[in-house]
């Protein structure tokens, strides 16, 4: 989905990790962006997904990536383009 950038403009198309559904009557979700720039991971905050991990194939990601938990947005379900996969909660 197009993840909004810091200025609020529509950003580039990228995968996101849905963290939770926002309570209420709207079909909105809190999500964080996923990036392939693993070298930018913030220790203790971001979650890194590596191809050699047992659950990596289930993510649907093609390369090592990270969930940037410092980059959150509230997104409408109508803006999602496709479902890539799932992540383990372990």
Cβ contact 80:28 at 8 Å: no
Q: Is residue 6 part of a domain?
A: no
Give the model confidence (pLDDT) of 8-23 as tens digits.
667 678 899 999 999 9
Q: How many CA atoms, within 13 angstroms, populate the side-chain half-sphere of residue 52?
A: 0
Tokens at residue 47, please?
Answer: 């979650």
The pLDDT of residue 9 is 67
pTM, entire model: 0.83
Q: Is residue 5 part of a domain?
A: no
| Separation between Cα atoms, residue 10 and residue 19, nearest integer Å | 20
What is the count of structural domains for the chain? 1
Domain hosting residue 22, numbered range: 16-79
Q: Is residue 25 part of a domain?
A: yes
Model confidence at 54, pLDDT cuts 50, 70, 90, reads very high
List the one residue out of 36, 34, 32, 66 whose CA is nearest residue 49.
66
The predicted model gives 13-40 an average pLDDT of 92
Look at residue 79 and tell me whether its pLDDT is greater than 80. Answer: yes
| Separation between Cα atoms, residue 7 and residue 11, nearest integer Å | 9
The pLDDT of residue 12 is 76
Q: Is residue 37 part of a domain?
A: yes
């Amino acid at each position: 989905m197009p993840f909004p950038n810091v200025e609020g403009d529509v950003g580039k198309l990228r995968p996101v990790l849905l963290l939770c559904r926002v309570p209420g009557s709207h079909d909105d979700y809190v999500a964080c962006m996923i990036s392939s720039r693993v070298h930018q991971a913030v220790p203790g905050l971001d979650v890194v997904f590596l191809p050699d991990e047992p659950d990596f194939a289930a993510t649907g990601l093609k390369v090592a990536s990270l969930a940037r938990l410092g980059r959150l947005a509230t997104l409408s379900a109508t803006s999602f383009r496709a479902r890539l996969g799932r992540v383990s909660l372990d």
